[in-house]
Structure 1
Amino acid sequence: MKRRSFIQKGALSGSFFALGGTGLFALNAAGAGNREPLHEFNLNYAPHLGMFKNMAGDDPVDQLNFMADQGFTAFEDNEMRNRPVELQQKMADTMQKRGLQMGVFVAHKIYWTEGNLTSGNLDKRAEFLEDIKQSVEVAKRVNAKWMTVVPGYVDQRLDANYQTANVIESLKQASAILEKENLTMVLEPLNFFNHPGLFLKESPQAYMICKAVDSPACKILFDIYHQQIQEGNLIPNIDACWDEIGYFQVGDNPGRKEPTTGEINYLNVFRHLHDKGFTGIVGMEHGNSMPGAAGEQAVIDAYVTCDDF
C-alpha cells in the first residue's frame, strides 16, 4: 500500500468526513473551547491562516478555534505585522483563551533582489532597525516571542567577508533593542533553488553569525524544507547548530507540502527534536498537497502520523 493511501485509510475517528462535510466547522463554531482537543501532540506544531479555511471558514478567529480544537498548541503568521491592529488584538485574545502560543511573524521588509543589511548602507540599516522597533509593538500586542529576519540579497560589489561583517553589525544593533523586551529574532537561511542570490543560505553560516552577534535575541530559524534542499544531512546539522536554534519550520521536499508527501522522514526528525527536549514551536510553513477539505484533513492526519512516537 502506498504511504499516502495508508495514512488516509488510517485517518482518526475525529475525521472531518465522519462529521459530514461542513459539519466539523459547525461543531467548532458551536462549542469552541468546551471540549477536549481531538489530538494530543508531542510537539508544538503551528499552522497558519488559510491552511484549514475549507473546514473552518474564512474568519481568522474561527480558524484559530479550529486549530485549537484539533489539538494544535501554536500558530504562526508571517503577515501579522501588516494586519489591522484590531484584528491583531482579536487574534491575540483568541490565542490566549485557547492556549495557542504565537509563533513567528516577519519582522521587517525583506529585500529579495538587492542588498540591504549586506551592503552596509546606513539608510537601509536605519530602516531595518525602525522595522524592528515597530515589530516589538506587534509582538507585545499578540504575545509573540519570536520574529523572522532575512538579511537580504548578496551585494555583488562587496567581498563576502565585508557583507558578513555588515550583517553582524546590524543584528547586534537590533539585538540591543530586542534584549530589553526579552524578544528573539530568528535568522532564516533560505535555499538557493527557491531563492537564488540571497545572502543567508546555510545553517553553519547562520550559526557563525549568531555566535558573532552573541545575544539571546539572535538565534536560528532552522527551516527543514530549505535545509534539505541546501545541505541535507538534517539531523547531524541540527545537532551541530543546536545551541543557536530558536525555532523550527517544516515542509516536505519536493513540493513544500505536508509531511509524508516527500522524501523527508519526519517521524524520525520529530522524534529527534522531542528526544533532545525541544519545547519551542515547529511552524507548519507549507502548502496542502490536495485541495479542499480532504486536503486539509490529510494535513492533520499527516501530523498525527509523524507525531506517533
Structure 2
Amino acid sequence: PAGDWAAGERGIACHPDRIEEFRAGVDRAIRYARALGNEQVNCLAGIQPEGVSDEVAEDTLVENLKYAAKKLEQAGIRLVMEAINTRDIPGFFLNNTQQALRIRDRVCSDNLTLQYDIYHMQIMEGDICPTLEANIGAIRHIQLADNPGRHEPGTGELNYRFIFGFIDRLGYDGWIGCEYKPATTTEAGLGWMKDHNVI
C-alpha cells in the first residue's frame, strides 16, 4: 500500500504502527494483480516516520517484506522493492543498493528481488553499470529516466546508448520501465527510442 499519497506518504512498509494496514494492503494488491494479470508488484518502503529509529524502521520493513513475499509467492506473484533517492522524496527509508541487498538478505526469500531505478541510483550512488553487473542476479525490474530533470534518455548526463548495450550484454531479459516526465510532449519525448536503437 502507498498510504495517503495526497498527504505526501510514499508507502508504509517501514511504519511500525501500521503493520495491519500493510497486511491488508498486501491482500488487496494480490486481488488487483490477479485482475490485471500482473506477475510482480512493488513494495514501497515509505518515508521513515519521525521518532522511529533506523533499526526499528528496518526491522519493520523486513517483517513486512517477509509477510508480503510469502503471501505473494503463494499467489504466484513476484515481489520487488525499490530504492528511491532522498532528493525527490526526502526521508525515504530505502535509498541505495547496498541497503536493499542487506534487507533482502534478512528477508531470506527467493520471491523478493530488486527494482533498480537508474535515475534514483544515479543520484544516490552513481556507478550504474558496475552496480548493475555486480547485482544483476538480484534485479528483476529496471526503470529509467535521465538526470537531471527526470526526463527521457538523451536529455541529461547519462549515456543511455551505452547503458542499454551493457544491460543487453549482461543477459537481462526483463522489462525496462520508462518512468520519466517528457521534456516537452509525450510524442516528441518518444524520439529517444529511435536515437538509442531501441526500435
Question: What displacement does 1:158 show?
Answer: 3.2
Unaligned runs of 5+ in 1: 1-107
2:195 is equivalent to residue 300 of structure 1: no
2:106 is equivalent to residue 216 of structure 1: no
Distance 1:150 1:116 in 2: 7
Residue of structure 1 equivalent to 2:53: 159
Distance 1:307 1:182 in 2: 34
1:137–1:263: structure 2 CA closer, same or farther, 3 Å change rule? same
Give 1 or 2 for the bigger CA radius of gyration.
1
Q: Does the 8 A contact of 2:2 with 2:9 survive in 1?
A: no
Residue of structure 2 equivalent to 1:117: 13
Q: How does 1:21-170 map to 2 (within 5 A)?
A: 108-110=1-3, 112-113=8-9, 116-121=12-17, 124-170=18-64
Distance 1:239 1:174 in 2: 27
Letter in 1 for 2:175: I
2:153 is equivalent to residue 259 of structure 1: yes
Letter in 2 for 1:145: E
Question: What displacement does 1:227 show?
Answer: 0.7
Letter in 1 for 2:158: I
Q: Does the 8 A contact of 1:186 with 1:219 survive in 2?
A: yes
Unaligned runs of 5+ in 2: none
Per-residue CA deviations over 1:79-123 (Å, capped at 9, x if unaligned) read xxxxxxxxxxxxxxxxxxxxxxxxxxxxx12464599432422xx
Residue of structure 2 equivalent to 1:98: none
Residue of structure 2 equivalent to 1:241: 135
User: What is the root-mean-square deviation of aligned Cα atoms in Å?
Assistant: 2.0
Question: What displacement does 1:224 show?
Answer: 0.5
Question: What displacement does 1:308 show?
Answer: 5.6
Q: Which has the higher contact order (CA 8 A, sep 6+)?
A: 1
Name the SS of the counterpart of 1:135 in structure 2. helix
Normalising to structure 2: TM-score of the pair? 0.90
Aligned residues: 196
2:96 is equivalent to residue 202 of structure 1: yes
Q: Does the 8 A contact of 1:191 with 1:226 survive in 2?
A: yes
Distance 2:76 2:10 in 1: 31
Q: Does the 8 A contact of 2:13 with 2:43 survive in 1?
A: no
1:307–1:182: structure 2 CA closer, same or farther, 3 Å change rule? farther
Name the SS of the counterpart of 2:113 in structure 1. strand
Name the SS of the counterpart of 2:141 in structure 1. strand
Q: Does the 8 A contact of 1:210 with 1:244 survive in 2?
A: no
